[in-house]
Amino acid sequence: MTSIRYRKLAVDGAGIFYREAGSPGAPKLLLLHGFPTASHMFRDLIPLLADRFHLIAPDLPGFGQSDSPGRGLTFDRIARSIDRFTELVGWDRYALYVFDYGAPTGFRLAVKHPERITAIISQNGNAYAEGLSEGWNPIRAYWETPSEANRESLRQFLKPETTIWQYTHGVPDATRVSPDGYSLDNFYLGRPGTAEVQLDLFGDYQSNVALYPKFQEYFRSRRPALLAAWGKNDPFFLPAGAEAFKRDIPAAMVRFFDTGHFALETHAGEIAAVIREFLGPVIQA
């Protein structure tokens, strides 16, 4: 049985909750989750990798068991908190596993500290315009016209049925999706004040798109070892976004899985096997 530790660390006065497993002397892998979930999305993956890697999965500020900074949360603030978090846990060299919101968070860390990043695993974590589907159109409308009406229209993304849809859309057999994940996500989304924080982040997502050229320049100049492990039926991040990594990192490994946005819900074993295949040469290099 894998021993997983559950801890909370004060980062600039705010608590960051995290899961930790594996030997401290093993190669390090930082797992960054997305919307609307938390580190529990890695509950199946962590035991499959803990024999080989030292893993830490924090809940991003405003998510899960981490403290919420309240209104005005931005992706820059999230990245600064996670950057400081890695320093406080003593990590100065690590690989990144980024998903959804975890991607613009992790890519900010890579741009700021390229010498710290040993490899990147992007699981439906986008950095290219062609990876954004039409599902982003309501959020784009809010970027372009931040009116109250456009903000209110985004509350549909916070409804319990929408969370369930995000988990099950594109999954050939929905009975493989445990209700545990989306039920916990819906509990977190239902907490007082959470909706407004999440709507603020929808509005700020345009800052991530604005940084795509900077992320891509990092990929071209540093050529990090990169694996794109993609649920090919994702309604938000298209397969073209995975293939685009090869434009800037020709040696990037791209693997598609017949599932949706939350690929770990159905393919944790397969993704863990690919991670081992991918990181093996990187670790020994």
Active site residues: 261
Look at residues 107, 140, 151, 108 and name the one whose alpha carbon lies nearest to residue 245.
107
Q: How far apart are CA 20 and CA 46, in angstroms?
A: 9
First CA to last CA distance, the chain: 30
Q: How far apart are CA 1 and CA 85, in angstroms?
A: 27
Integer angstrom CA distances of residue 158 from 69, 132, 154: 19, 19, 8
CA angle, 94 then 96 then 100, to 5°:
160
